[in-house]
Structure 1
Amino acid sequence: MLKGISPLISPELIKLLMEMGHADEIVIADGNFPAASHAQRLVRCDGHGVPELLAAILPLFPLDSYVEQPASLMAVMPGDNVETPIWDRYRDIVRDHHPGSDLFETVERFAFYERAKNAYAIVATGETALYANLILKKGVVV
């Protein structure tokens, strides 16, 4: 363990975060996401929720300031009667580390899957909320 780094961040996850360059993307996926079949690099964080991991990652991870919306959510499929209160938690966590306007976009489900296949890594969590998947685009460390 290291001082100042959340114990939720495993050695494998911190290695991947450090390897990523500007504009690389990382997916933080809920428990239903097909992470293993979509990942170029897979990190297992079973037993942890997305909000907790997001709060642990963001103090270390700059979001891309060269794009309007460096955070992407999987859009709810038309006809699905699903509430997404977890998105409000994500917005609050991101605002704590990156104040400003809304940094989130929503991406249609199958387009989200295609972006996930090209992401630098996917973090598979035990999150049980539906449509709780998130993509973060890395920015420049200044």
Structure 2
Amino acid sequence: MKKHGILNSDIARVLAQLGHTDSIVIADCGLPIPDHVERIDLALKLGQPSFVDTLQEILADMQVERAVFATECLEKNPTVVAQAKEMQSSGVSIDFVSHEEFKQLCHRAKAVIRTGEASPYANIILHSGVIF
């Protein structure tokens, strides 16, 4: 059994297979997931697991160079905005696009990790960096 890091075998596998600039999505429970993109469903009930808890665990195990959020979160979700600012202060490049464009970008993701988050626009696309 693993001693450290993410215990979910699907998430651990996807993170281990990422190359530079590959992307994954962490999504609230309402984001539409394209049929051809792997779905890793963590949702247990509304709010669990949360977007923030899931994001923090992924960030502890993944080298991220860029993140994309929906512009709408700037007005509708201060918790997500706080996460964006925290990531930016740690050197991650942050971009904002319309929610419609965000949904189109999800088609390029290796996987979408669906949380139980039930607040608006609690979604992020994480682009893999390199550790050297």
- TM-score range normalised by the length of the shorter chain: 0.7 to 0.9
Counterpart AA for 2:5: I
Structure 2 length as normaliser, TM-score? 0.84
Task: Tell me which residue corresponds to 2:54.
Answer: 53
**How far off its partner does 1:83 sit?**
2.6
Task: Tell me which residue corresponds to 2:68.
Answer: 72
Matches for 1:124-139 after TM superposition, within 5 Å? 124-139=114-129
Task: Tell me which residue corresponds to 2:11.
Answer: 13
Task: Tell me which residue corresponds to 1:67.
Answer: none
Task: Tell me which residue corresponds to 2:39.
Answer: 42
Structure 1 length as normaliser, TM-score? 0.79
- Structure 1, unpaired ranges of 5+: 65-69
Q: CA RMSD in A?
A: 2.1
**How far off its partner does 1:94 sit?**
2.7
Matches for 1:108-119 after TM superposition, within 5 Å? 108-119=98-109
Counterpart AA for 2:25: V
**How far off its partner does 1:22 sit?**
0.7
Q: How many residues align?
A: 127
**How far off its partner does 1:29 sit?**
0.5
**How far off its partner does 1:93 sit?**
5.2
Counting aligned pairs with the same residue, the percent is: 25
For the residue of structure 2 that corresponds to 1:22, the secondary structure is coil
Task: Tell me which residue corresponds to 2:93.
Answer: 103
Counterpart AA for 1:105: D
Runs (4+) of structure 1 exceeding 3 A deviation are none
Task: Tell me which residue corresponds to 1:84.
Answer: 77
**How far off its partner does 1:30 sit?**
0.5
